Structure 1
Amino acid sequence: MVPNDNRLNRLDTVDDRIEVGVSEALQKHVTRHVVPPPPVSQKKLDFEHRRPRILREMMGEATGVFFYVFPGIASVATFTLATTNGTGALLGVAAFGGIYQIGIAFGFGIAFAIITCASVSGGHFNPAITICFALFGGFPWKKVPIYIFSQIFGAFMAGLVLMGCYWPEIQAAKAIDIHEHGTAVYNGGVASIFCTFPNPNQTNQGYLFLQEWFVDAFIGVVIWSCLDPANPFVTPVSVPWTIGFAYTAMIVGFAANSISTNLARDLGTRIVAAIFFGGEAFSFNHGYSWISILVNIPATIFAVCYYELLIRDSLQNIHKGHAEHEHGEEGLVRHLTRVATSDVGIINGAVKTNGITDSPNAAYSNGTAKREDVV
C-alpha cells in the first residue's frame, strides 16, 4: 500500500497505477471477507460430550489407515493398470512412474494420516505399534484388539473404495491376466494392486522372512526414535514427514523384492483381493501371506527392544521434564549418588562432577546432574 503523501508521485506510470489499485483492492477484499468464527453452541458441546471416546479413537485409527493405504494402492493401481499387457490401453496413458512413485505416495499418505488423526487416537496406524505401546508405553491392553480391528477395517475400506474407483479398468485387466496367465494373483497381476505377492523367482521363504524382518525393524527404530522426547532432532511438526520418509526409503529400496511393512495394510486389502480374485490371495507361493501379515509384529517388537535396551537415555527425559523418577527427586538423587560412587567414589562425602566437588542435591537443583557429566 502506498502512503497518501506519495500517491501522486507513484501514479506517474501505468505500472504504479496498477500497483496502487491492486493493493487497495486486496485490502478491501480481506477486510470484507474475514469473518470471525461463530461461538461454539452448547448443543454442539453436548453432542461431542455424548460421543463415546472409544468410538472417536476407533474412527481415528480407521481413518488414518485409510489415508495411508488409499493413496499408496492408488499409485500401485495407476502403474499396474497402465502397463497391463504392455499396451497402456486400460488407462489410455503411458505409465509415468514406478517404485519411486509408489514409495512417495505411501510416505505422503502416512504423513497425512498422522497429521489428520494422530491427535484423536494417538496415531498408531499399525497393529505392531499398538502392541509396542501396550508393552512399553502403558497403553491399555483392553484397547489393543479394538485398535487392531479398526486399523484392519480402515485398510479394508481403502481397498473397497479403490476397487470402486477403478472397477472397469480392474475388470479389464483381470480378463487379460486370466487369458494370458490363467490367474490375476501374481506379482504384477491386477490383484497385486491390493497386496504383496513375491516375484516368480522368490521361492525361498527364508529370504522373504529376513527381508520383511529387517525392513520392519528399520521402520520401527525410526518410529520409536521420533517418539523419544530426548531426541533433539525431531519436533512434533517434523515427526509425520520423518516417519513417512522412512517408509518411502524402504519401499523404494525393497518393494521390487516384496515387502509388506504393516499387518493392517496387508491383511485389510488382502481380504479385498480374496473377495474379488479368490482365496489364492492367501495361499499364493505356499502361503507367503503369513510373512506379509505376521512378521511385522515380532520385527517391530525387536526394534523397540533394541532402542529401549541400547539407545534410550531416560535420565535425559527426566532432565527435560518429560518423565520423573518412580521415587521422585529423592530416588533420582540416590541414583546420581550411586553412579558417582561407582565411577569416581565418594570424596569426603561429596560427589565429584567435572572436577567440581558438590553434593548430589546441588547438582540436581542446578540441572547439571547428567549421566555424561558424572566423570
Structure 2
Amino acid sequence: MSSSDIFIGEFIGTAVLILLGGGVCAGVTFKRSKAYSAGWVAIALGWGMAVLTGAYISAGVSGAHLNPAVTLGIAIEGGTEWGDVPLYIVAQMAGAMFGAALVWGAYYGQFHAHLTDPEVIGDPASKASGPEGGRAAVGPGPVLGIFSTAPEIRNTVQNLLTEVIATTVLVLAILTQGLNQEGKGLGPLGVLVTAFVVVGIGLSLGGPTGYAINPARDLGPRTVHALLPLPNKGSSDWTYAWIPVAGPLLGGALAGAVYNVAF
C-alpha cells in the first residue's frame, strides 16, 4: 500500500472511531441529550461499534490499525514495515483530533448548555483560572470525559498496569485472530472480532481507567479539549495524560513480543 493510502485510510478511520466513540460519551454525559445517563454498557457498546465502523471503512485502504499500539504490535510481529510506523501514527493522531472536533460540532448546543449550567459553574473543581478569579481545576474538567480518559482511583502503578493489561489483550487478539492475509492490518473477520474484543475489554477492564487502550484516542482528543474555546471547561488533566499513552504502547509492544514467542 502507498503512503497516501496509509494516511488517508488511517485518518478517516480514526476520525470516525473518535466521532462515534466520543459521541456516545457525549450522549451519555449531557442532560439535554436523549441518551443522557444511559450508563457504562451503552458506552462500551458504543465504542465497540465505533471500532467496527471506523475499521470497516479503512480496512481495505490502510489495514485499519487506528491505534499506535496496534501499529507497534504488528510492526514487532513483522507485518508492518518500521519505516511506515511514523506515518501511521501521525495519521491516527490527526484523525483523532479531527474526530474530536466533529463531536464538538455535533453536540455544540449541548456543550454550551452544560458548561453554562449554574451547577457546573458553581463547582470549584470545574473552574479554569482566568480574569474573573476562578480557581484552577484540580482534576479533570466537567466535559473532559467526552474527549479522553481519567482513572477512578489515582494510583500511577495501578493505572499504568491496567492500560498495559487491557491493551495487551486487544493487540494479542488482533495478532492471533484479526490480521488479513498479508498480515499488515485487519481483515473483514478481524474487524468484527476486534469490535467484540473492545466491548469485552470495556465491560471487564474499563472500570479503573476508562480503557484508553489507544494513545491517539486519548492524546488527540485531549489536545482538542485544551484548544477548544469552551467556557468553564476546566483542566485537561495533563498530569495523567502520559499514562494512556505509555500504557497502551507498552501493552502493544508486549503483545507483539508474546506473539513472536508463543505463536
The TM-score with structure 2 as length reference comes to 0.83
- Give the match for residue 295 of structure 1: 247
- Give the match for residue 30 of structure 1: none
The residue identity in structure 1 corresponding to 2:108 is: W
CA distance in 2, matches of 1:228, 1:145: 20
Deviation at 1:108, TM superposition (A): 1.3
Q: Deviations over 1:50-105 (max 9, x none)?
A: xx9322320100111112221111110011002xxxxxxx33x4736211111111
Stretches of structure 1 lacking an aligned partner (at least 5 in a row): 1-51, 83-89, 313-375
SS at match of 1:196: coil
The residue identity in structure 2 corresponding to 1:217 is: T
The residue identity in structure 2 corresponding to 1:101 is: A
SS at match of 1:261: coil
CA contact (8 A) 1:107 1:244 kept: yes
Stretches of structure 2 lacking an aligned partner (at least 5 in a row): 128-136
Structure 2 CA distance for partners of 1:282 and 1:55, relative to 1, 3 Å:
farther
CA contact (8 A) 1:274 1:282 kept: no
CA contact (8 A) 1:134 1:141 kept: yes
CA distance in 2, matches of 1:165, 1:114: 21
Structure 2 CA distance for partners of 1:191 and 1:228, relative to 1, 3 Å:
closer
Q: Deviations over 1:203-233 (max 9, x none)?
A: 3211111111111111111111114689xxx
CA contact (8 A) 2:24 2:42 kept: yes
Structure 2 CA distance for partners of 1:171 and 1:191, relative to 1, 3 Å:
farther
The answer to whether the aligner puts 1:137 opposite 2:89 as a matched pair is: no
The residue identity in structure 1 corresponding to 2:47 is: F
CA distance in 2, matches of 1:306, 1:146: 25
The answer to whether the aligner puts 1:307 opposite 2:251 as a matched pair is: no
**Which structure is richer in relative contact order (CA contacts within 8 A, separation 6 or more)?**
2
CA contact (8 A) 1:187 1:196 kept: no
CA distance in 1, matches of 2:53, 2:145: 24
- Give the match for residue 280 of structure 1: 235
SS at match of 1:256: coil
The answer to whether the aligner puts 1:270 opposite 2:222 as a matched pair is: yes
- Give the match for residue 61 of structure 1: 10
CA contact (8 A) 1:58 1:146 kept: yes
Structure 2 CA distance for partners of 1:274 and 1:119, relative to 1, 3 Å:
same
- Give the match for residue 36 of structure 2: 95
CA distance in 2, matches of 1:127, 1:223: 13
Deviation at 1:237, TM superposition (A): 3.9
- Pairs within 5 Å for 1:193-208: 193-199=146-152, 202-208=153-159
CA distance in 1, matches of 2:195, 2:3: 26
CA distance in 1, matches of 2:188, 2:4: 26
SS at match of 1:267: helix
- Bigger shift: 189-198 or 94-103? 94-103
- Give the match for residue 113 of structure 1: 54
Structure 2 CA distance for partners of 1:256 and 1:138, relative to 1, 3 Å:
closer
Aligned length: 243
The residue identity in structure 1 corresponding to 2:168 is: A
Deviation at 1:189, TM superposition (A): 2.2
Deviation at 1:263, TM superposition (A): 0.6
The residue identity in structure 2 corresponding to 1:64 is: G
CA contact (8 A) 2:141 2:235 kept: no
The answer to whether the aligner puts 1:178 opposite 2:125 as a matched pair is: no
- RMSD value over aligned CA atoms? 2.5
Structure 2 CA distance for partners of 1:147 and 1:304, relative to 1, 3 Å:
same
- Give the match for residue 156 of structure 1: 97
CA contact (8 A) 2:180 2:187 kept: no
Deviation at 1:236, TM superposition (A): 4.5
Structure 2 CA distance for partners of 1:188 and 1:107, relative to 1, 3 Å:
farther
The TM-score with structure 1 as length reference comes to 0.60
Q: Deviations over 1:244-268 (max 9, x none)?
A: 1111111122333212110111111
SS at match of 2:30: helix
- Give the match for residue 72 of structure 1: 21
CA distance in 1, matches of 2:35, 2:173: 36
- Bigger shift: 254-263 or 156-165? 254-263
Deviation at 1:304, TM superposition (A): 2.0
Structure 2 CA distance for partners of 1:78 and 1:191, relative to 1, 3 Å:
same
Q: Kindly name which structure, 1 or 2, has the bigger radius of gyration based on alpha carbons.
A: 1
CA distance in 2, matches of 1:242, 1:104: 14
- Give the match for residue 16 of structure 1: none
Structure 2 CA distance for partners of 1:307 and 1:53, relative to 1, 3 Å:
closer
- Give the match for residue 130 of structure 2: none
